[in-house]
């Protein structure tokens, strides 16, 4: 099943890439791409006993796109993707979308943002999925079975899907600046009341601290916006079809408004907590895996079996017997009976392009 994970992720990335290029959050644009790629065929031909597992895998992969830190457009694409996959699946009864408790707040916020920006199709689809009970309310998004060896399976996330980091904006927000200027003013007053002359040795703080901070943050925001927009405009030249310019500009205004409004709230807490979590994993990793990894990373000596087979030469039938396992069923079998057929397993080799 895990060999499918990368393939499914690649397909989803491709779909969302195309959706991102349309620069629209309308469901029509999405369904056009869906039909074009014939994405519902992803369920065809799955072996019967694997069907449910595969559907589970596909829905879990698509679910990740619904959450931060992806951009608003990608999250909308993720929602549409979930809706489409849920309805195209071939499992019966339908496999549900797992919604974890920790993600509920994010989803609610996403819904309110879409409502404020008047993206009725987004809200309609989200509410519809909740209404038809497509969600199942769980503790965690995926089934966890303490798979420590499978860490390397996290496939790389598309950079262009990610939300622009807005850590400076969150840190230096309006409230903080206001408080800083108040405190600064009080400090200056106290200082001047204590020692009337401005002594150079007592000037320990920047006189224009608040102003400088604010300007730096605005510069950063402008630089980010320019960088983002320049890459967008280069893509504009490539994309042939697109919505009308008025719709586009209003849609872009919506996007930027939602991004900006969330930049000054706690949206970047996701990235903060990610950083925090990343640190946690690093701390626990050496403790958990110190003994096994120390053992595995030692220079591997060739096994005794390999060395023995290489060095010992015995001729003829005895050598053949010595190499193969003694099968207890063959102790009483006739001499001219063939050993049982072995089926070769299919190798899911992917060619990395």
* Residues of this chain, 290-349, that bind other proteins according to CB under 8 A: 328-329, 331-332, 343, 346, 348
- Is there binding between residue 40 and other proteins (CB under 8 A)? yes
- Is there binding between residue 120 and other proteins (CB under 8 A)? yes
**In the complex, what is the shortest distance from the CB of residue 123 to other proteins, in angstroms, rounded to a whole number?**
7
CA nearest to 141, candidates 51, 71, 92, 78: 78
- Is there binding between residue 145 and other proteins (CB under 8 A)? yes
- C-alpha 97/C-alpha 63 separation (Å) is 8
- Is there binding between residue 130 and other proteins (CB under 8 A)? yes
- Residues touching other proteins: how many (CB under 8 A)? 74
Q: Which is nearer to other proteins, 43 or 228 (CB)?
A: 43
Residue span binding other proteins (CB under 8 A) among the ranges 21-29, 186-194, 234-242, 250-258: 21-29
The residues near 42 (Cβ < 8 Å, ≥ 6 apart) are 8, 11, 58, 85, 88
**In the complex, what is the shortest distance from the CB of residue 217 to other proteins, in angstroms, rounded to a whole number?**
29
In angstroms, the first-to-last Cα distance of the chain is 21
Choice from 18, 98, 119, 262 touching other proteins (CB under 8 A): 98
Q: Which is nearer to other proteins, 142 or 184 (CB)?
A: 142
Q: Per the structure block, which two tokens stand in for 79?
A: 């929602």
**In the complex, what is the shortest distance from the CB of residue 191 to other proteins, in angstroms, rounded to a whole number?**
38
Using CB under 8 A, which residues numbered 147 to 206 contact other proteins?
Answer: 147-148, 151, 154
Choice from 2, 31, 249, 324 touching other proteins (CB under 8 A): 31
- C-alpha 69/C-alpha 76 separation (Å) is 13
CA nearest to 74, candidates 60, 88, 63: 63
Q: Per the structure block, which two tokens stand in for 306?
A: 């390999």
What are the backbone angles phi and psi of residue 195, rounded to the nearest 5°?
-120, 110
Choice from 2, 28, 226, 239 touching other proteins (CB under 8 A): 28
Burial call 213-252: b when 16+ CB within 10 Å, e when fewer:
bbeebeeebeebeeeeeeeeeeeeeeeeeebeeeeeeebe
Using CB under 8 A, which residues numbered 53 to 92 contact other proteins?
Answer: 84, 87-88, 90
Give the residue carrying structure tokens 């200027």: 181
Q: Which is nearer to other proteins, 132 or 186 (CB)?
A: 132
Cis peptide before 69 (omega within 30 of 0): yes
């Amino acid at each position: 099943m895990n060999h499918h994970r990368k393939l499914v992720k690649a397909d989803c990335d491709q779909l969302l890439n195309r959706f991102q290029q349309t620069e629209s959050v309308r469901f029509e644009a999405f369904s056009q791409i869906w039909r074009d790629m014939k994405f519902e065929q992803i369920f065809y031909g799955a072996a019967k006993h694997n069907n449910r597992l595969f559907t589970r895998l596909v829905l879990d992969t698509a679910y990740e796109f619904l959450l931060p830190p992806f951009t608003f457009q990608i999250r909308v694409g993720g929602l549409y993707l979930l809706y489409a996959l849920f309805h195209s699946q071939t499992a019966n009864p339908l496999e549900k979308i797992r919604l974890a408790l920790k993600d509920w707040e994010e989803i609610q916020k996403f819904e309110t943002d879409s409502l404020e920006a008047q993206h009725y199709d987004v809200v309609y689809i989200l509410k519809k999925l909740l209404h038809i009970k497509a969600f199942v309310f769980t503790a965690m998004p995926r089934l966890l079975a303490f798979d420590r060896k499978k860490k390397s399976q996290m496939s790389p996330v598309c950079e262009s899907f990610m939300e622009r980091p807005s850590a400076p904006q969150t840190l230096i927000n309006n409230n903080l600046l206001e408080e800083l200027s108040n405190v600064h003013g009080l400090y200056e007053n106290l200082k001047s009341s204590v020692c009337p002359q401005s002594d150079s040795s007592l000037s320990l703080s920047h006189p224009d601290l608040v102003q400088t901070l604010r300007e730096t943050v605005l510069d950063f925001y402008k630089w980010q916006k320019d960088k983002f927009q320049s890459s967008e405009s280069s893509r504009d030249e490539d994309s042939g079809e697109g919505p009308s310019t008025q719709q586009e500009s209003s849609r872009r205004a919506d996007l930027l408004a939602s991004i900006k409004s969330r930049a000054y709230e706690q949206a970047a807490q996701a990235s903060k907590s990610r950083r925090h979590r990343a640190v946690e994993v690093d701390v626990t990793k050496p403790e958990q895996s110190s003994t096994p990894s120390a053992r595995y990373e030692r220079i591997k000596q060739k096994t005794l079996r390999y060395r023995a087979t290489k060095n010992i030469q015995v001729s003829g039938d005895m050598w053949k017997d010595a190499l193969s396992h003694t099968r207890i069923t063959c102790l009483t079998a006739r001499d001219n009976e063939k050993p049982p057929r072995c089926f070769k397993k299919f190798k899911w080799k992917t060619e990395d392009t």
